[in-house]
Structure 1
Amino acid sequence: MIRRILCSVPLLTLSMASFAAPQLSQYTAIRVQKANELALKEEYKPAIEALNSIDTSRDYDRAYVERMLGVFYWQAGNSQQAITHLKKAVESHQLEDEQGWTTQRMLADLLMTNQQYTQAISHYQALTKNVSQNQKAEEIWFRLAQAQYQVEQWAPVLSSLGQYKKFKAINEVPTLSLKLGAQLALERWKSAIPTLEKLVSLEPNKLSWWRQLVGLQVQTKQYGKALDTLALAKLNKLALSEQDLRLLAQLYAQRGIPERAAITLSELAGSQSELKLITQQAVYWQQAKEWDNAIEQWELASRQDSKYQWNLAQVLLQQGYYDRAIVALEKVEQRDKQRRVLLAKARAYYKLNELDKALVEAKEAHNIEHSKESESWIKFLTNLRKTKQGVES
């Protein structure tokens, strides 16, 4: 699930330097001044009452009063009333230039704070068309992107961030998080990878960035990079989960480093008790040609499930542990492997120079199923035994 980014709206401010502007009638200016003095003492209720008592037919005066009411209601903690009055001020189109722009910015920020994102978007878009020289254009584009993010307008989010980038580089966590969320929603996996790489560099201790980066690298079949990323996260001593370590082991094995894969699995809590983990370690140790380690794991697995006696016996035979191999072969219960078990025992007894026992096993295998292999063993062992008897006689 894509993480929601909560916006942080700056304090709304109202400069009273222009309360006596030439456009404001003397009647209104005097009453506005009184209301402002009350507000400066944080006496918002009487300040609001003073503004509401102003009776004027002048459009500009009315718009100015609505603007002040919006600010005072906000300062008094009544955001809904603040929005109502700021909307009237903006929609009057009487406030121009800097004054009009800042009023609309107040309204957009309040709408954003109150989760009225669609309305906030329309006001932010209007603000972007005429950014005051005293304002930071990148802030407006960022807030627009945040509002679009909340209503899942993913392509517009990226477009707004593209405009943001013209004023300020996208190299901070909030902007990168917005960009990442939109890219993931649009399934632009390859484009999201550089974004995540920047997030990892900015917040190297945040494991979720590493995990998402590895996930995308795997999804785009960049397995080598995924291994490097996850291995680096482990090297940085991040608290990798069992799932992370299992994936790391798989990536090591895929890269052709089975020894590291086995070692990684050995670090899991169930490495010596969970059968699947035990057998996977055994396979990796075999691939790494670490035979004694492989034998140890197959022995552990065979104690839980006798079917792994066959795997154990094969490695024991390969490494010349013939007595131990015979013991393991005796415990193999799979009927479909009986012929192969008998031939393996014939080989083990032959290596131990117990030719009579080897021949018995070979003949029994031949009785189960005639094959060239069993027939060759019988001929070989029979001739060898005759030769040996001749020498001894």
Structure 2
Amino acid sequence: MRILLLLLCLLPLIHLQAQTQSIAPAVYNALSSARQAQAEGNLAQARQTLREALSDTDSESLEAALLHQRLGYLAIATDDYPTAIRALRTALESEQLAAEVARQDRLNLAQLYLLDEQPQAAIELFVVARNREPLPLNSKRLLVQAYMQTGQYRAALPLAEEVVSADAGAEDIWYQLLVGLNHRLQRFRAAADWQQVLVRRNPGSVSAWRQLAGLQSLAGQQRAAAASLRLAREAGLDLSEQDMDNLIALQVQAGAPWQAARLTEELMAAGLLASTPQRQRQLAQLWQQARDHDRALAAWTRVAEASGRSEHWLQVAGLHLQQADWPALLTILERAESNANSRQRQQIAEWRHYARQYTELDN
């Protein structure tokens, strides 16, 4: 940032000649001498020359504004940002500077506030300048930074979009910023769209593909998430089963078991997860956590038919119990009884008694 600031600080000097046509010769000479001393590396001499001229100048004049301005840029050369801020602010508050010069000083002062860790003051200056005419690209970048530092993410987002729209060669960090801002604002689909740009820029990055799939999953695009991971694997990238499990866990941790179940189905359909008995049980549990009765019932029935175990048939029975489907419950309890242990037999007896009571009442 400092390199950019110093480059921009040269710009007011371009306009100095136009402003010095009508100023006192003594001040003109002082400004020229100070500039020469600075070029020779004698900053103390430059500062003394400017201060001596300022002591003999009307504080409300253009001459005073130009001297304060020069003192400000001299302070920047020594990284004395508080002094530079005071000097440039004084020059601007005089309202003596030409409009174009004042605008550039105002933008530079905003950058100084950022360097001095005063982002809100920088924002105020940038916004004033923007209200008068569009900001240059570098100032937009710095305003985004100031918004980020103050936690004004909604204000930062459209401005960051302007930056990448205006600069096709914007660094990856700007796209990462757009991904992060949209994620923070829970605009997961937009975050995934920006992440796709990063994937296209870095097709060999495993982490970029992982993040894309994660964002697509958070956006409810489970099929797209599975497709992204499949494409990454087909491209020879090192994706493991743990990567798939992490993606599923992301949805579970977000309190979205239904999305986790859909993702599990899509990953198995894409061949990225093997349809093992353990995985089928996980899928059944997720549908049950999501309170999707029909899918949970179908999933647990597949698990029970494959294993034949009483504990799995009791899961099916429990789902029928929740729906008060007494005939189906009694049928499933018969299947659960064949290899049940004593505790399971006790539960089967209790549920059977319960179902028969309600069956008799219904009759």
TM-score (norm 2): 0.65
The match for 1:202 is 166
Is the counterpart of residue 264 in structure 1 residue 228 in structure 2? yes
Distance 1:150 1:135, change over 3 A: same
Q: 1:146 aligns with which of 107, 111, 116?
A: 111
Whole-angstrom distance in 2 between the partners of 1:197 and 1:369: 61
The match for 1:239 is 202
The match for 1:351 is none
Gaps of 5+ in 2: 250-257, 286-294, 316-333, 353-363
Counterpart mapping for 1:256-295 below 5 A: 256-266=220-230, 267=232, 269-271=237-239, 273-277=240-244, 280=247, 287=262, 293-294=268-269
Contact 1:70 1:86 in 2 (8 A): yes
Higher CA-based Rg: 1
The match for 1:53 is none
SS in structure 1 opposite 2:274? helix
Whole-angstrom distance in 1 between the partners of 2:75 and 2:95: 20
Whole-angstrom distance in 2 between the partners of 1:250 and 1:369: 40
Distance 1:182 1:363, change over 3 A: same
Distance 1:224 1:104, change over 3 A: same
Whole-angstrom distance in 2 between the partners of 1:66 and 1:374: 102
Whole-angstrom distance in 2 between the partners of 1:310 and 1:372: 21
Whole-angstrom distance in 1 between the partners of 2:75 and 2:144: 24
Q: 1:82 aligns with which of 46, 50, 53?
A: 46
Shift of 1:118: 1.1
Cα displacement string for residues 76-124 of structure 1 (whole angstroms, at most 9, x for unaligned residues): 2333432332233234326985554434332222222321111111221
Cα displacement string for residues 243-269 of structure 1 (whole angstroms, at most 9, x for unaligned residues): 543343233223332111112233264
Aligned pairs, number: 305
Distance 1:85 1:260, change over 3 A: same
Q: 1:364 aligns with which of 327, 339, 343?
A: 339
Distance 1:159 1:17, change over 3 A: closer
Whole-angstrom distance in 1 between the partners of 2:313 and 2:131: 77
Is the counterpart of residue 299 in structure 1 residue 297 in structure 2? no
Shift of 1:200: 2.0
The match for 2:320 is none
TM-score (norm 1): 0.61
Contact 2:47 2:74 in 1 (8 A): yes
Whole-angstrom distance in 1 between the partners of 2:338 and 2:184: 54
Whole-angstrom distance in 2 between the partners of 1:308 and 1:292: 11
Counterpart mapping for 1:1-393 below 5 A: 6-7=4-5, 8=7, 9-10=9-10, 12=13, 66-93=30-57, 99-128=63-92, 129-133=94-98, 135-170=100-135, 172-204=136-168, 205-231=170-196, 233-234=197-198, 237-239=200-202, 242-266=206-230, 267=232, 269-271=237-239, 273-277=240-244, 280=247, 287=262, 293-294=268-269, 296-299=271-274, 308=279, 310-311=281-282, 329=307, 339-340=310-311, 363-365=338-340, 367=342, 369-370=344-345, 371-372=347-348
Shift of 1:289: 8.8
Cα displacement string for residues 299-353 of structure 1 (whole angstroms, at most 9, x for unaligned residues): 38x6xxx9548559999xx79xx9xx85xx59xxxxxxx6435889xxxxxxxxx
Q: RMSD value over aligned CA atoms?
A: 4.7
Contact 2:227 2:270 in 1 (8 A): no
Identity between Structure 1 and Structure 2 (%):
20
